Amino acid sequence: MTEAHESELLPRHLIFANPERSVVRLSPDGTRIAFRAPVNGVLNLWVAPLGDVTKAQPVTDVADRNLGPWILWMHDNRHIVFFREQGGDENWRAWRIDLRTGDIRSLTQGPGVTCYIQQDSPHFPSELLIGHNERDKRYFDIWRVNVATGDSALLHVNDGFVGYFSDRQLNVRFAARQADNGDLDYLQRGPNGDWNPVTHIAAEDTSGVRPVEFSDDGSELYWLDSRGRDTAAVVVQNMESGALRVLAEDPRADFTDLLLDPVAQRPIAARNVVERARWHVLDPEYKADFDYLTRLLPGDLFVTGISQDRRSWIAAYAFDDAPLEYFHYDRDKRQVRRLFSSAPAWENVGFTKMESVVVRARDGLELVCYLSRPRNAPSGERLPMVLLVHGGPWARDHWGLIPDHQWLASRGYAVLSVNYRGSTGFGKAFVNAGNFEWAGKMHDDLIDAVDWAIAEGIADAGRIAIMGASYGGYATLVGLTFTPEKFACAVDIVGISNLVTFLDTIPDYWVTWKSEWKVRLADYTTEAGRRFLEERSPLNHVHRIVRPLLIGQGANDVRVKAAESEQIVAAMQRQGIPVTYVFYPDEGHGFGRPENRRSFAAVAEAFLATHLGGRCQPVGDDFEGSTIEFKAGRDLVPGLDDEA
């Protein structure tokens, strides 16, 4: 293992710190912004006047764990709703603060109860619809909540629905129920109280169809809709006639974001992503605004808020080599004013650029991938490489400033992220191509991308690692067991080791859409289906492991239970196969506390340096404040006890 002085590397304290500003939201009246920012290292809620963000003040003082990544201004401009959990358990509890008095009040109960915001509305400035599972952990009932008083009234008892769809009058308009074959039906309640089907969505379309919002007058409903086409289009439905009309479509990629006018709630613009993000303007009145904003800076544009008078916008730009930048856009003057960046300490650091590439899989499917290389890497020299596999799997990788890419590239590695089949955003055919292909063609796509990097002279075939979290952790274990000599080593974070035990222990509140797993993985209710899942489970192929493995796990993970990591560690130990197992008693599905992120990165960095030969920053004080526990194999990673 080689080492470099800390000043030559991006310090872990820098790259794995909490952002200084995140989740920036504009008040409806356009006078203030709210955002997350640290108080003693923990992300709290801050509020600032839009005209002078230097006057920002914290309005919460949470000390144990970051607030959740959701902030909602109420339309009364007085209350803000935010969310907290405990130890990574994902039991999100809603709270509100009264900005006039400083009073903080819980809106849902806890512990053991999770919730979400169903609907807000300017017509009811201090009221919300909230869904939570206090009554029955499997189902989310809908409650009407007065955030000023904290009073709640039960609106709908959920007797098996996946979810509900509501309007700006705070009426529940539809309920969604998933059939045993994966099909989804939207139902409407009749005069007699019965729920009657009004819209049917076949299983092949469920990944690309969702209602977004009713117009404010209730005459139209806006959909992102892949029915009758491959990629999700922006579709408007006339509620009187039922007629559908396409507003925008792109055969290359799904539309995934729809920006609505804050008053009329009619579509302004829609966003989709192939390799980079692109906005499609739907309302001609806003064309000049988007022409100006999209040409202003070379980054990818996000619009995170528009005031009720439409005059003030919050615009953000994402870059691959600089932190996210936030701006106030004055629509009347057609001018922008910089507010701040998400991470001032990341400005002018000298990050590496990210390349977007398209790799053709062995069966011809095109895979959008992202590659980062070390700055000033010698031309023509093959590099050690880390294949970084995204979770989900029904998610996707994006272009941008990705901390893991920058961290690993600064250590001398090429870093490759692959949108393998099953990833979302590229149309339903691409998603459905992943059905029944866990440890099959989904893994082949990863191997094909690795082989592309080798063929292109980018990667050294003998020094490639596979690394990922959640599904990415499962893919990592598949890499070690199904292609045991392809990778020099592997890093699995909260990964699934056995698909049967994973499905048997998923959270109670996933039960309403559990049939989705039948469509995507296998029919776990049949003997043949469970045999198939066992065959595709790394746990049952542990004897094939011949390369070093590092595992990271949170004790409170509700998605991938700690038993998934523990059982593969135990199986490896029984067979005398070395493994390093790192455990965090205060984490869940991933590592939320920056102290824990740093400590795991320190271990992973030393592990990768040992087996790939990259550079390594000494551990120094990166274990301080962390709850890291070594359950196995600390001695297998040299350098963990070195002093800076």
What angle do helix axes 471-482 and 441-455 make, rounded to 10 degrees? 70
Give me the catalytic one of 185, 205, 557, 586: 557
For residues 286 and 644, the model is more confident at 286
pLDDT tens digits, one per residue of 11-35: 999 999 999 999 999 999 999 999 9
Measured between alpha carbons, how far is 399 from 298 in angstroms, rounded to an integer?
13
Q: Is the pLDDT of residue 7 over 80?
A: no
pLDDT value, residue 376: 86
Query: What pLDDT, in 10s, does the model give residues 487-528?
Result: 999 999 999 999 999 999 999 999 888 899 999 999 999 999
Encode pLDDT of 341-352 as tens digits.
999 999 999 999
* In the predicted structure, residue 77 carries a pLDDT above the cut 90: yes
Task: Identify the active-site residue in 328, 390, 398, 589.
Answer: 589
| Residue 410: active-site member | no
Burial environment of residue 77 by CB neighbours within 10 A (0 to 12, 13 to 18, 19 or more): middle
pLDDT at 642 (0 to 100): 58
Does 1 have pLDDT greater than 60? Answer: no
Q: What is the pLDDT of residue 62?
A: 97
List the end-to-end C-alpha distance of the chain, in Å, as a whole number: 15
pLDDT at residue 380, rounded to an integer: 84
* Catalytic residue check, 589: yes
Q: What is the mean pLDDT of residues 343-372?
A: 97
- Rounded Cα gap, residues 421 and 445, in angstroms: 7
* Contact criterion met (CB below 8 Å) for 125 and 80: no
Kindly state the average pLDDT of the residues 589-603. 97
Determine the Cα–Cα distance for residues 332 and 355; give it in Å rounded to an integer.
37
Residue-wise pLDDT tens digits, 473-488: 999 999 999 999 999 9
Question: What confidence score (pLDDT) does residue 643 get?
Answer: 43
pLDDT of residue 273 exceeding 50, the answer is yes
DSSP assignments along 94-162, one per residue: EEEEETTT--EEESS--SS--EEEEEE-TTSTTEEEEEEEEEETTEEEEEEEETTT--EEEEE--SS-S
Q: Is the pLDDT at 8 greater than 80, yes or no?
A: no
Domain 354-498+545-636 fold is: Rossmann fold (3.40.50)
Average pLDDT over residues 70-98: 97
- Across-strand partners of 367? 359
- Predicted local distance difference test score (pLDDT) of residue 192: 86
Q: What are the residue ranges spanned by the domains of the chain?
A: 354-498+545-636
**pLDDT at residue 331, as a whole number:** 97
Mean pLDDT of all residues belonging to the chain:
96
Residue 179 has pLDDT above 90, yes or no: yes
Segment 224-240, tens digit of pLDDT: 999 999 999 999 999 99
- The Cα diameter of the chain in Å comes to 74
Distance CA 91, CA 94 (A): 10
207, 470, 497, 626: which one is catalytic? 470
Average pLDDT of span 49-67: 97
